[in-house]
Amino acid sequence: MSIASLLGFSAAHAAESSGTSTHGGFLSMLPMLLIFVVIFYFLLIRPQSKRAKQQKQLLSNVSVGDEVLTAGGIVGKIVQLKDNFVVLNLSKDSQLMIRKSSIASILPKGTLEL
């Protein structure tokens, strides 16, 4: 069984459609189109929106004193919050200002030894 026959294309169908118009051509393909839309929704759109919602919730829960991991792999403790920026304490002497949106996760308390 070939892919063309699974999709509804066959030599008889091709010969029939070349000479005359078929009735219900679009209606016969409509269920397959709907199945593809449902598959795309559950495999692509829904998981992406869930991740975006979780990231937004994570960023709204960030507070001073949290130990965070950035998207670039930098680990630090938040010492100051600004509108879109966060100041991280990396060691006793160094601080780094990053965008708040680059925070990937909040680490458990006591992970860092500063």
Name the CATH architecture for the domain at 64-107. Answer: Roll (2.30)
Length of the chain: 114
More confident position, 12 or 73 = 73
pLDDT at residue 46 tops 90:
yes
CB atoms within 10 A of CB 103: 22
pLDDT for res 111: 86
The percent of residues above 70 in pLDDT, for the chain, comes to 80
pLDDT for res 73: 95
- Condensed to tens digits (0 to 9), the pLDDT of residues 56-77 reads 999 999 999 999 999 999 999 9
pLDDT at residue 7 tops 90:
no
Domain ranges of the chain: 3-59, 64-107
- Condensed to tens digits (0 to 9), the pLDDT of residues 67-110 reads 999 999 999 999 999 989 999 999 989 999 999 999 999 999 98
**Long-range contacts of residues 24-31, Cβ cutoff 8 Å, at least 24 apart:** none
Q: How confident is the model at residue 21 (pLDDT cuts 50, 70, 90)?
A: low
Helix (DSSP H) and strand (DSSP E) numbers for the chain: 4, 5
pTM: 0.63
Averaged pLDDT of the chain: 85
